[in-house]
Amino acid sequence: MVFFVIRRLLAIGVMLVVTSVVTFLLFFAAPTDPAALTCGRECTPDLIDANRHAMGLDKPIHVQYGDFVKGLFAGRDFPDDPVQKAQAPETIVHCEAPCLGYSFLRQAPVTELVTQALPVTVSLAAGAFVLWMLIGVLAGCVAALYKGRWLDRLIVGGALLGYSLPTFFIGLLLLTFVSIRWAILPIPSYTPFLDNPLQWAAGLVMPWTALAVVFAAAYVRLTRAYMIESLSEDYVRTARAKGVREPRVIVKHGLRVALTPIVTMAGLDLGGLLGGMVVTEQVFGFNGLGKLAVQSVTNVDLPTIVAVVLVAAAAYTIANLVVDILYGVIDPRVRLK
Amino acid sequence: MTALTRQQEQGATTPEQAPLLDVRDLRVHFPTADGVVRSVDGVSFSVAKGETLSIVGESGSGKSVTAQAILGLHRRGRGVVSGQIMLDGTDLMTIDDESMRRLRGDHVAMVFQDPLSAFHPYYRIGSQIVEAIHSHRQISGESARTLAVEMLDMVGIPNPKARFDQYPHEFSGGMRQRAMIAMALVNEPKLLIADEPTTALDVTVQAQILSLMRDLQTELGTANIVITHDLGVVANIADRVMIMYAGKVAETGSVGEIFAAPEHPYTWGLLGSAPRLDLPRLERLAAIPGSPPSLINVPPGCSFHPRCAFRDDRLGCGSTVPELKASTGTHPVRCHLPGDRRRVLFADPADPADPADAPGDSGDSGGLGDPDGDPADLGGVGGLGDDGPGGVGGSSIATLSITASAEPGAAVDATPLLRVTNLQKYYPQYTRKLLRRAAPPVRAVDGITFDVRAGETLGLVGESGCGKSTAGRAMLRLLEPTGGTVEFKGEDITRLDGQRLRRLRRHMQMVFQDPFGSLNGRQTVGAIIATPFKIQGISPEGGIRHAVRELMDRVGLNPEHYNRFPHEFSGGQRQRVGVARAIALKPDLIVCDEPVSALDASIQAQVINLLKDLQEESGVAYVFIAHDLSVVRHIADRIAVMYLGRVMEEAPWDVLCERPLHPYTHALLSAVPIPDPEHEARRERILLSRDLPSPQNPPSGCVFRTRCLEARERCAAEVPERRELRPGHFVACHFPHEATAVLTGRP
Amino acid sequence: MTSTPPVAAVSQTAPEGGSDQAKTAIHGRSRGQLALARLRRDKVTLTALVICAALLLVAAISPVLSHWGVIDPLRNNPHLVTEVGSLPNGPGGGMSWQHWMGVEPGTGRDLLSRIVAGLTISLTVAVLASLLTVVMGTCLGIIAGISKGKTDWAISRLMDIVLSFPQLLMLLSLAPILVGVMHQRLHLPEGTPSQIGFMVLVLGCFGWPQIARIVRGQVLSLREQEFIEAARSLGARRAQLYFKEILPHLWAPILVYVTLVMPQYIAAEATLGFLGVGIQAPTPSLGSLLNDSVTYAVVDPAYFIFPGATLAVVVLAFNLLGDGLRDVLDPKGGTRA
């Protein structure tokens, strides 16, 4: 098990390097001039050149990548130019480790932007995750237990409907009707959890619901399928044959096995969400990573886009690792191999 | 022992005569989109305290569904159950779910066929047993643990305290089944239902489990229902037998009656279609034609009549359902034939379908396993004893030596068709540590040597994991051998390039085990049988289609069905398709890899007969790979016994089965159950201890030494050479010896 | 999903020759025919099939309808909107006999016409992207499946890397860079074709690993089947093995996957439109319509709900079809596509 974790950790490290290289190539080696995109509408050729130099884009791509990695671990200066440093230290912007880059449009280190956005995204993702897992797994189990009867059909039909509605559509419907027209729930807003937990939750209920509807739908289907499979296994029959009480048969013998693939999926989905919920944050106006990405795209703020993509890819990759390890924890057959 | 005291109490409080379990007119029907599946259709039987009833039938006969109905396992399913099930005075059909649950595992317990899938993979063996205890008794975790460990000890699991904390996948198959039995018996049930308890196990392990079950029954006094398709197991363990066919009881009686004087034609068929180790070899097996009916459209009248050789429509076989009744007071049979005529038909030695044409009498009758048997009756119908000319025992040795010396003599001038020399197949392994390093390889086949002459059949037997299938594939170079040579007609095929090898393949073919997986479900059987012609670019006389139809006819398929798809055929028919494909190009050699092990007994006989017929017609040579020694003995000219990747012994079939020299062969032979209760009772088994070692880390010297009763120091130090101890009789053992008693049970 | 039968694998498997005998011979029911029989019994899937076919048909002929003047997605009707605020006259967003779904606020363009015309663009994106996804996924999946060792390893790792990039975020982030590339390098006309090309490319390039995994898994399990060994034992070449024995088994999972990935792509196009980076107005697509209608969600809900509901119906119909096809083609099969 220990060797397994170490090997996975190494693999994840390699994956992260490769992912960052790919991102770099995608954005910086694209046949467009990133520097030309640094200053929006007030661009002059001089400003573009200055920014190109400041961002280090005048260096070869592999040097740029090296600088980026150096920035991550040791911090870096923009522009990283010894001459300028000596002559006009006040024009140098220092970016502390872990430095994901510097947004010239926003005049701020990207790391700072990301760390500001992260709590919002995490709050959104965590609440929605809890909600959809509860609803999805519970409803999926019920559907599996009532397989073929009207309750099952109702749940499966509802799930398919929810699964077919795009997030932004659900979000906007909720926002328009529940919040604005009928004023049942307050207009969503973000309050840091530590400031006021109640307000934090109240402001997040609606985006949680919107996200949870789509995901819960998927998990109902998943749970139902795995529960049906698991409940038809021989070991469930054995448990019944030895007189185990039915609730225990369902939960300990059926659900436990069905949960293995569900946990895997859920981990990956959560990892994906932590990279930013572009649509949800946009719909409800939450300044999370997703909204940061949308804004950066609209303003063509390249360093921020790259950083957000990297963070998202890293979140997914790390979720992958966690899931792999969890798999070993859940299933002794994996652990002991 | 608490178990004993409890049994005594029960014996004291309830009258002995009342049956423990009484099932009346049980029906289990499953409604489906295509119609109602009548899995169990009016079954009645009873089980007395402490006795063993065996329910016998082919797949789909309803035997497992019956067992599950007793436990109320259909309550949450789609099955509709009706009838009456009385357990010790309680009507199981009327009690509520909670009361049923209380009975399950406490009063009635069940052991399932596949102990790997029947145990929950996520929980430790011990905790699963403790769960069974805690579902019925409020005792402390500590005492439950003690009880579970005690039980594990009782079923013969070594080091039970440590095993308690292991997971099912850390157990070997046999140990897992022992643990399963421990779990079933831990609450000391009155009735134990074992559904094919040994079918998934190797024959030597099966022998261990059967003997364990008998011992436990003596000790605990539990009543058993053993469900099986194997009449050998029945003869070994049962007091009474119930034969089921298509959801109905065909006949039921004491084990003595069923084996000595079976009255239903289906039972005759079952007895006749399984080759037997103890009887002279028959030319052909008495196969039952056709296959079991669909349970949706059960034939009218007697459901067996379409397959019955003795049906007589004047008696109403095809129109009215016969009643289950005893004709002369011995045992109830569901057949229209008059009782006296049945007995005559069964005893008539001229009838080819009659398994009783074995000569001789029952010898020392009145054996231990036959409490109800009537010795006179046994003698009268030609009991299934084995003292005849072809039988075994001291007198037959002379005969055997003649055969043994005659065989190789006849074939001396013939160059072998296939010469396998020191063939090896290793699978490289890697460590699962931080860095993947090469670990010792798995030696699936580790240096086997034998010849196959043109037109003969070499049987390759061994238990699962012995490398026999790998060997079969490596000798055709379907797997690339790691070492050694395979000469086919004098040419070393291990060095052939791809082109020449492909051309050579027309002369050597294969028949596979899995009748589902070996046919491409996307192609019609016509296209499947035509594949060899197309791949080899051969146009037969009269065109491919004509050839295909001819082939289908030859293997006993309706040529009109060439446009059908494999999923429309039964298992036996599919296997015929596989055979037709293999013989299409008139090969010189066919490797048959467990060709009948996935089939029901009556279908097995059909396929074996077909293979024998084809060999007679065309002179093809077979390498017949199987785990079932009785089947191999029936079809092979010579037999090679494999163990852990090596050949232990190779000899002509009769010599190997009657005068084996290798201790492993002795154990194997002694473990094969024989469908004759008297014989079973007489036999003394060589029960192998321990589990099969890992082929990745085989024992030094002789690989069998860790389980061998004769093992001495030399066995660990030195690998035994393959020696020809008699003409044509090769043994790889330092201390070969004869042990005739293993088969006959006589000193 | 070990053996999913294809719908159309009947004709080539029938023995050659067509004599009278062949006609009188008992014809077996292939798995395809069995699947058809099951399909006929499954009313929900049949309905979904009809709806999907109708939608595709409408999308295909909408340029013709537009040419004939049956629909007119681009004509402004200023007289149908109020002068102040430009909201449609009348209830339900200006619903009338001429304008069944009302009109657009601002321009007064007929909403039904715009939805029908929008379907064409949306479905074009979805169909082309699905095709690209399936072609890439199938090819790479088969190559990975049949080649043991290094190639398989490389493709599998490539799948891991691609999967670690969130598709939507990549669509979003790459939009400013790649739409231009479409025009400049691939010489697609500026505007809508470039936007379509961009979406197809990104959806395809980040979507193929899913199907590649399925196909690879199928090939790996098929390879181990005895009928492959049987063909080898008859002397079949590799090409014969793969094309004659393995490929026919792959049609069913691919078909199911296509019907399941289509709705995802339709939704993705709409989402991108919502985020403002997809098809740009005035060209109608479900995405651009929704993007425009979001601002009116509160004041003119009908304008938001009609395109949204259309989207939901389209996505639901394709999901139902995909689900149903999977059950029909593989009744025992897993629900894990």
A336 confidence band (pLDDT: 50, 70, 90): low
Q: Residues near C30 by Cβ (< 8 Å), separated by ≥ 6?
A: B524, B565, C9, C10, C13
- The whole-angstrom distance between residue A96's C-alpha and the CA centroid of its chain comes to 24
Measure the CA–CA gap between B81 and A226, rounded to whole angstroms: 28
Contacts of B136 (CB under 8 A, 6+ apart): A243, B102, B105, B106, B187
Question: For position B249, what pLDDT does the model report?
Answer: 93
Percent of chain A clearing pLDDT 90 (strictly above)? 18
- Residue C297: helix, strand or coil by DSSP? coil
Q: Binning pLDDT at 50, 70 and 90, where does residue B2 land?
A: very low
State pLDDT tens for residues B691-719: 788 888 889 899 999 988 888 889 999 89
Total length of chain B: 747
The arithmetic mean of pLDDT across residues B148-154, rounded, is: 93
Q: Which pLDDT score, from 0 to 100, does residue A101 have?
A: 81
Across B250-277, average pLDDT: 88
Outline where DSSP puts E strands in B156-295. Answer: 191-195, 223-228, 240-245, 248-254
Q: Do C298 and A180 touch (CB under 8 A)?
A: yes
- CA angle in degrees (0–180, nearest 5) for C176-C181-C182: 105
Bridge partners, residue B244, by sequence: B249
A6 contacts in B (CB within 8 Å)?
A: 434
d(CA B484, CA B449): 9
Q: Which of C172, C259, C262 is the best residue to mutate to test the A interface, defined by the most A CB atoms within 10 Å of its own CB?
A: C172
pLDDT-above-90 percentage for chain B: 42
Question: Integer distance in angstroms from the first to the last C-alpha of chain A?
Answer: 8
Q: Which of C181, C271, C276 sits opposite A166 (nearest CB)?
A: C271
> Which sequence spans correspond to the domains of chain C?
54-74+118-328
State residue C18's pLDDT score.
33
From A268, A260, A313, A273, select the one nearest A127 (Cα to Cα): A273
Q: Which residues of C touch B518 (CB under 8 A)?
A: 225-227, 229-230
On chain C, the residues whose CB falls within 8 A of the CB of A221 are: 335
pLDDT at B548 over 90: yes
Other Cβ atoms closer than 10 A to B485: 15
- The three state secondary structure string of A78-105 is ECCCHHHHHHCHHHCEEECCCCCCEECC
Q: What are phi and psi of B593, to 5 degrees?
A: -95, 100
Residue A145 has pLDDT above 70, yes or no: yes
DSSP class of residue B430?
E
Q: What is the model's pLDDT at position C118? A: 86
Task: State the CB neighbour count (10 A cutoff) for residue B524.
Answer: 24
Stronger pLDDT, B216 or C10, i.e. the higher one = B216
User: In this predicted model, what pLDDT tens digit does every residue of B163-210 receive, in sequence order?
Assistant: 999 999 888 888 999 999 999 999 999 999 999 998 888 888 898 899
Minimal CA separation from B514 to chain C, in Å: 7
pLDDT score of A224: 92
Residue B543: name the closest of C22, C239, C230 by CA: C22
Is residue B177 less than 8 Å (CB to CB) from chain C?
A: no
ipTM: 0.81
DSSP result, B53-112: EEEE--TTSSHHHHHHHHTTTTTTSS-EEEEEEEETTEETTTS-HHHHHHHBTTTEEEE-
Contact B188, B154 (CB under 8 A): no
Looking at the partner chain, which of B118, B122, B167 has a beta carbon nearest the beta carbon of A238? B118
Among A60-64, B315-319, B461-465, B610-614, where is mean pLDDT lowest?
Answer: A60-64
- In this structure, the number of other CB atoms found within 10 A of the CB of residue B463 comes to 21
Question: Is the model's pLDDT at B602 over the cut of 90?
Answer: no
Mention the CATH class of domain C54-74+118-328: mainly alpha
Q: A29 pLDDT band (50/70/90 cuts)?
A: low
How far apart are alpha carbons B684 and B742 in whole angstroms? 7
Looking up tokens 């397989």 gives A147
- Check residue C241 and give its pLDDT: 85
Whole-number pLDDT of residue B244: 93
Q: Do B117 and A242 touch (CB under 8 A)?
A: no
Structure tokens that stand for A44 in this block: 């002059």
Higher pLDDT, A11 or B640: B640
Q: Which residues of C176-186 are buried (b: 16+ CB within 10 A; e: fewer)?
A: bbbbbbbbeee
Please give the angle made by the CA atoms of B585, B587 and B592, to the nearest 5 degrees: 115
- Report the alpha-carbon distance of residue B255 to residue B266 in Å, rounded: 16
With a cut of 50, say whether residue B352 has pLDDT above it: no
Q: Which residues of chain C have pLDDT under 70?
A: 1-31, 84-86, 91-94, 330-337
Residue B3 has pLDDT above 70, yes or no: no
Pick the more confident residue, B449 or B739.
B449
Specify the pLDDT at position B10.
Answer: 42
Give the residue-averaged pLDDT of B645-667.
91
Contact B110 A243 (CB under 8 A): no
pLDDT level of residue B384 (50, 70, 90 thresholds):
very low
Amino acid present at B689: S
Q: How far apart are the first and last CA of chain C?
A: 8
**Residue in this structure with the two tokens 């009313």, named with its chain if needed:** C43
Question: What is the per-residue pLDDT for B248?
Answer: 92
Q: What is the pLDDT of residue B729?
A: 93
Residues in chain A: 337
Burial of A195 (0-12, 13-18, 19+ CB in 10 A): exposed
What's residue B473's pLDDT?
93
Q: Mapping DSSP to helix (H, G, I), strand (E, B) and coil, where does residue C129 land?
A: helix
Alpha-carbon dihedral angle through residues B338, B343, B345, B349, given to the nearest 10 degrees = -170
Residues in C touching B563 (Cβ below 8 Å): 14-15, 22, 25-28
Q: Please give the DSSP secondary-structure letter assigned to residue B139.
A: -
Q: Which of A224, A211, A214, A212 is nearest to A155 (CA)?
A: A224
End-to-end CA distance of chain B: 35
Structure tokens at B60: 């789909």
Residue B351 has pLDDT above 80, yes or no: no
Q: Specify the pLDDT at position B584.
A: 92
Separation of alpha carbons B123 and B113, rounded Å: 19
pLDDT score for A33:
66
Q: Touching check for A146 and chain B: CB below 8 Å?
A: no
Q: Please provide the average confidence, as pLDDT, over all residues in chain B.
A: 83
The per-residue pLDDT for B162 is: 92
Q: For chain C, which residues lie within 8 Å of any Cβ of chain A, measuring from their own Cβ?
A: 160-161, 163-166, 168-170, 172-178, 180-181, 184-185, 263, 267, 270-271, 274-277, 290, 294, 297-298, 301, 304, 308, 311-312, 315-316, 319-320, 323, 334-336
How far is the CA of A96 from the CAs of A73, A99, C50, C87, in angstroms?
Answer: 9, 6, 60, 52
Name chain A's partners: 3 or more CB pairs within 8 A.
Answer: B, C
Q: Under a CB-based contact definition with an 8 Å cutoff, are residues B88 and B20 in contact?
A: yes
Collect contacts of C88-97 with beta carbons under 8 A, ≥24 apart.
C88/C300, C88/C302, C88/C303, C92/C302, C93/C300, C93/C301, C93/C302, C93/C303, C93/C306, C95/C302
Given 3-state DSSP classes, what are the helix, strand and coil percentages for chain B, each rounded to the nearest 5?
Answer: 35, 20, 45
Closest CA to A259 of A164, A329, A158: A329
Alpha carbon B469 to chain centroid, angstroms: 17
Concatenate the DSSP letters of all residues of B189-204 into one string.
-SEEEEESTTTTS-HH
| pTM, rounded to two decimals | 0.81
Tell me which amino acid residue B698 is: P
pLDDT 10s digits, A85-125? 777 777 777 777 788 888 877 788 888 899 999 899 999 99
pLDDT one-digit tens code per residue, A168-217: 888 888 888 887 778 777 778 888 888 888 888 888 888 898 889 889 99
DSSP label at B288? P
Can you tell me the mean pLDDT for B644-663?
91
**Which member of A160, A272, A275 has the closest CB to residue C319?**
A160
Residue B719 in contact with residue B702, Cβ under 8 Å?
A: yes
pLDDT in tens, A261-320: 898 889 888 888 887 788 888 888 888 888 898 888 877 777 888 888 888 888 888 888
What is the rounded (10 degree) CA torsion for B256, B260, B261, B265? 110
pLDDT at A196: 83
Q: How far apart are alpha carbons A263 and A329 in whole angstroms?
A: 11
Separation in Å, CA of B341 to nearest CA in chain A: 44
Confirm if B492 and B481 have CB atoms less than 8 A apart: no
* Backbone phi and psi for residue A92, each to the nearest 5 degrees, phi listed first: -85, 135
Question: Exposure pattern of B372-387 as b/e (b: 16+ CB <10 Å)?
Answer: ebbbebbeebbbbbbb
Give the pLDDT of residue B380. Answer: 31
Distance CA C158, CA C180 (A): 26
What totals of helices (H) and strands (E) does chain C contain, helices first?
A: 13, 0
C294/A26 Cβ within 8 A: no
List C-alpha distances in Å: B717 to A133, B289, B443, B694, B704.
61, 53, 19, 19, 13
The pLDDT value given to residue B635: 92
- Residue B81: pLDDT above 70? yes
The confidence score (pLDDT) of residue B639 equals 95
B530 — contact with chain C (CB < 8 Å)? yes
User: Is A231 at the interface with chain B, CB within 8 A?
Assistant: no
B545-549, B614-618, C59-63: least confidently modelled range: C59-63
The minimum CA-CA distance between A145 and chain C, rounded to whole Å, is 17
Q: C284 to each of A185, C56, C318, how far by Cα in Å?
A: 34, 16, 21
Where are the strands (E) in A154-292, listed by range? none
Q: How far apart are the C-alpha atoms of A212 and B488, rounded to whole Å?
A: 67
pLDDT for A45: 78
In DSSP terms, B494 is beta-bridged to none
Q: Does A224 touch chain B (CB under 8 A)?
A: no
